[in-house]
Structure 1
């Protein structure tokens, strides 16, 4: 069975704030493994009469990792650990809060359109006191066998495709999939994982369930393969998210 979570719209800031589509946490599901937060936004013009772009002032986090992944635009990151970094399309920034960190995220003045996702990962109890840290990773775009498409694996391992070197504290998967119109992808996956698919664009059917843009489709552990079918419009989906339930 596929559980489809539909997003609610949330303003990220004041009256002219960027509006995001939030699918997790959801009233019907709080977690997908240790993924505990999913915000999906854009493509949206910024620095105009309606939107100021992203302007999230310094705020604290504890007990989690934040994952920033963009399709369009540039975001400037600063944190209380002394890190100053940029988030660009196809590049991931991961911040580990450990027992406490504060950070800000602001779109750059030259950004005219913003489009991307913000994800959080809950740290297991054994890692809640780890040192705060920051990692940047720009994965290669890797072709998918037997399918007209490619993947960018930014966290964990997508079987037979690619593995990210970025450190996580639970078995985890995060990838962007780009599939051509009329294609079908059958992926081998870890049956101990929960998985979810967030539709960014395109005509997408996931395990027989037709999805709309912004939907987060979830499946429970027990599946060895997942099938994604694309209709007349090519698809980009961020992404397959998976994690075992391990919070010891």
Structure 2
């Protein structure tokens, strides 16, 4: 499941938000969106908050009913300047990309695709799974050193888990509580799923900024309730976080060093300028060789013109 991002999510007239050095709890609403055949709650980007570390996109999808032959049904589409991080809590999805990758992902597993300068992919029904589909897809903005590089794909069938007092932490990306994920990350970054069954204290890095996206149940932070459909931005400066839980809950903890470069986001692209997005848009519209080809029976998703072409 991928994008697209438009001016509602990252309005051109709104400057990137500051990155407070002090702890805070800033709550923003997710936006309902349709991606393929699935409804999603888009927690990031939002007005005034485009990034948390290098995390620049968070779509909580489902729960939705899918069949063997009808699931996400997101046809071939392009990416530049980002990584897609796909994590399921229920169901299965088939990933195909222009590198030739074909990979079914299941709960507890991680798909990570690095676009570099250009990649295309599709997300499909598996041909065998019928049931409920729910999960989250995240994007990570690539730094200058790697965003013009080659594309890559990796699948991790197992990820490190650790017990906290009141939670089980699964580390998708980066380092957390003496655990290290094998997944690639190009900036100081962390992504952790927290399966919470009672109040717990979560270790943090004071130099990282953090946010929490709740997938199931509800948590409390500093007296503020965070149910699904909200993003809780926490700022920087904490070495730990107390999370209150009254019933079992599942949440994503996202963090990292504040991303240094202002980014421009449009459709499925993360760039630094309109000119870069124009070039990617025109390549996809022409269907030249830049983004390769995906072996998919789903129809290709046509290019969407940037808003500045429509003025």
TM-score normalised over the length of structure 1: 0.90
Report 1:162-241 matches (<5 A): 162-180=179-197, 183-231=198-246, 233-237=247-251, 239-241=252-254
- What residue number does 2:91 align with? 73
**Which stretches in structure 1 are left out of the alignment for 5+ residues?**
none
* CA distance in structure 2 between the partners assigned to 1:70 and 1:45 by the alignment: 14
User: Which one of 38, 42, 63 corresponds to residue 22 of structure 1?
Assistant: 42
Instruction: Determine if contact 2:204/2:240 at 8 Å carries over to the other structure.
Output: yes
Which of the two has greater strand per residue? 1
Instruction: Determine if contact 1:80/1:103 at 8 Å carries over to the other structure.
Output: yes
- How far apart are 1:208 and its partner, in Å? 2.6
Question: Does the alignment pair 1:243 with 2:261?
Answer: no
* CA distance in structure 1 between the partners assigned to 2:109 and 2:55 by the alignment: 19
* CA distance in structure 2 between the partners assigned to 1:194 and 1:132 by the alignment: 28
* CA distance in structure 2 between the partners assigned to 1:170 and 1:111 by the alignment: 37
Segment drifting more, 127-136 vs 86-95: 127-136
CA-to-aligned-CA distance 1:154-211 (integer Å, 9 cap, x gap): 1001134x1102121001101111111xx22112211111101111112310233111
* CA distance in structure 2 between the partners assigned to 1:107 and 1:206 by the alignment: 37
Instruction: Determine if contact 2:160/2:181 at 8 Å carries over to the other structure.
Output: no
- How far apart are 1:246 and its partner, in Å? 4.1
Structure 1 runs of 4+ with >3 Å offset: none
Q: Secondary structure at the match of 1:82?
A: coil
- What residue number does 1:44 align with? 64
Question: Does the alignment pair 1:12 with 2:35?
Answer: yes
CA RMSD of aligned residues (A): 1.7
Report 1:6-155 matches (<5 A): 6-13=29-36, 17-47=37-67, 52-109=70-127, 110-137=129-156, 138-144=158-164, 147-155=165-173
**Which stretches in structure 2 are left out of the alignment for 5+ residues?**
1-23, 262-311
Instruction: Determine if contact 2:51/2:259 at 8 Å carries over to the other structure.
Output: no
Who wins on radius of gyration, i.e. which is larger?
A: 2
Instruction: Determine if contact 1:70/1:88 at 8 Å carries over to the other structure.
Output: yes
TM-score normalised over the length of structure 2: 0.72
Instruction: Determine if contact 2:71/2:93 at 8 Å carries over to the other structure.
Output: no
- What residue number does 2:276 align with? none
- How far apart are 1:106 and its partner, in Å? 0.9
What is the aligned length? 236
- How far apart are 1:112 and its partner, in Å? 1.6
Q: Secondary structure at the match of 1:125?
A: coil
